[in-house]
């Protein structure tokens, strides 16, 4: 039993434990030198994993986009179960699965690992919400069609641009970002999906705009549908965001945070609804 990070290296034949306090990845690994790889973040709450199958579906879709081989889900899942067992006193774990293209000039086998550690406590931000700036992502909403090599919609390791956008938000005095397309659509956050409410209609941008298929977005739609709201994927004009009744950024570990300020203007927030949504997202007994 431990509250320390637990690391397993994974390959097609099984998994083995590594020591996360020691250097582990080769300095010529394509993941380290080029960000050439994929990842997934899994939230484990009281030992349960909401939307696990959806995360494996997305990991495999990302692998397909980068022409990386698949590692059998049963190997990942057994390593995951072992990592959870060793943390049975920890209420919330954040688990990262990573697969890179492997080491330069070696055989072509990928480097893959699973790292499980206690999740950061996001209780305060779930209550307070975030201020957000819209930032141009620099692509049109149909860029993925003509340029699949941009890997839009894959959860790949090259998150330096997302991190740069978050630093720009911070320079502008904001906490987070909503990316927009060059043709004026709202897209997603650098690490979250966008949910928009107008009256009883709840919307999110469609994946054809080159955004990640959010697993928390899917669970969020389930929440709103259970309360009688209509839900749909839609093109959401960035210029219309400021007149919405509510905006949230949702993701698996931080869960739902309300946008209380958008580009310097106050937005309506419903603290009770946000709290209810977050309990739905945490509810480890609800069938997916």
Q: List residues near ligand PLP by CB under 6 A.
A: 41, 188, 190-193, 212, 214-217, 250-252
> By C-alpha distance, which of 24, 43, 166, 191 is closest to 100?
24
Please identify, using beta-carbon distances, which residue of 11 and 276 lies nearer to ligand PLP: 276
Answer for the pair 54, 215: CB distance below 8 angstroms, yes or no: yes
Q: How far is the CB of 215 from ligand PLP (least distance, A)?
A: 3
Please identify, using beta-carbon distances, which residue of 100 and 102 lies nearer to ligand PLP: 100
Q: How far is the CB of 198 from ligand PLP (least distance, A)?
A: 21
Please identify, using beta-carbon distances, which residue of 110 and 190 lies nearer to ligand PLP: 190
How many Cβ atoms are within 10 Å of 97's Cβ, its own excluded? 24
What sections of the chain are H helices per DSSP?
30-34, 52-65, 73-85, 123-128, 143-146, 160-171, 215-226, 271-282
129's tokens = 């919400």
Answer for the pair 177, 169: CB distance below 8 angstroms, yes or no: yes
Q: How far is the CB of 190 from ligand PLP (least distance, A)?
A: 6
Tally: H helices and E strands in the chain: 8, 13
Q: How far is the CB of 57 from ligand PLP (least distance, A)?
A: 11
Q: How far is the CB of 90 from ligand PLP (least distance, A)?
A: 19
Please identify, using beta-carbon distances, which residue of 129 and 214 lies nearer to ligand PLP: 214
Q: How far is the CB of 28 from ligand PLP (least distance, A)?
A: 26
Residue 54 pairs in a beta bridge with none
Q: Which residue is nearest to ligand PLP (CB)?
A: 216
Q: How far is the CB of 158 from ligand PLP (least distance, A)?
A: 11
Q: How far is the CB of 179 from ligand PLP (least distance, A)?
A: 8
Answer for the pair 99, 71: CB distance below 8 angstroms, yes or no: yes
Q: Which residues contact 207 (CB under 8 A, 6 or more apart)?
A: 153, 213, 233
> By C-alpha distance, which of 274, 260, 273 is closest to 133?
260
Please identify, using beta-carbon distances, which residue of 50 and 129 lies nearer to ligand PLP: 50
Please identify, using beta-carbon distances, which residue of 102 and 252 lies nearer to ligand PLP: 252
Please identify, using beta-carbon distances, which residue of 62 and 100 lies nearer to ligand PLP: 62
Please identify, using beta-carbon distances, which residue of 42 and 75 lies nearer to ligand PLP: 42
For the chain, state the CA radius of gyration. 19
Answer for the pair 104, 28: CB distance below 8 angstroms, yes or no: yes
Q: Can you tell me whether residue 136 is helix, strand or coil?
A: strand
Residue environment code for 140-153, b if the CB has 16+ CB neighbours within 10 A, otherwise e: bbebbeeeeeebbb
């Amino acid at each position: 039993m431990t509250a320390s990070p637990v690391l397993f290296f994974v390959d097609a034949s099984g998994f083995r434990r590594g020591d996360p306090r020691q250097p582990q990845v080769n300095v010529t690994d394509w993941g380290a030198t080029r960000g050439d790889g994929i990842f997934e973040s899994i939230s484990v709450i009281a030992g349960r994993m909401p939307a696990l199958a959806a995360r494996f579906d997305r990991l495999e879709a990302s692998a397909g986009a980068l022409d990386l081989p698949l590692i059998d889900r049963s190997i990942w899942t057994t390593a995951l179960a072992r990592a959870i067992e060793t943390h049975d006193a920890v209420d919330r774990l954040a688990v990262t699965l990573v697969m890179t293209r492997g080491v330069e000039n070696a055989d072509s086998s990928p480097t893959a690992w699973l790292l499980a550690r206690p999740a950061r406590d996001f209780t305060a931000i779930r209550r307070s919400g975030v201020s957000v700036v819209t930032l141009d992502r620099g692509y049109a909403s149909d860029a993925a069609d003509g340029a699949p090599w941009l890997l839009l919609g894959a959860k790949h390791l090259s998150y330096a641009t997302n991190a740069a956008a978050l630093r720009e938000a911070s320079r502008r005095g904001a906490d987070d970002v909503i990316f927009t397309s060059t043709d004026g659509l709202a897209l997603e956050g650098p690490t979250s999906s966008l949910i928009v409410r107008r009256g009883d209609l709840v919307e999110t941008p469609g994946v054809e705009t080159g955004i990640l298929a959010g697993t928390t977005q899917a669970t969020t739609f389930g929440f709103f549908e259970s309360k009688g709201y209509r839900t749909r994927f839609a093109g959401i004009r960035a210029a219309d965001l400021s007149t919405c009744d509510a905006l949230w950024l949702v993701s698996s570990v931080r869960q739902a945070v309300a946008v209380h300020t958008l580009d310097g203007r106050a937005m309506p927030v419903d603290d009770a609804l946000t709290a209810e949504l977050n309990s739905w997202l945490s509810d480890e007994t609800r069938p997916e």
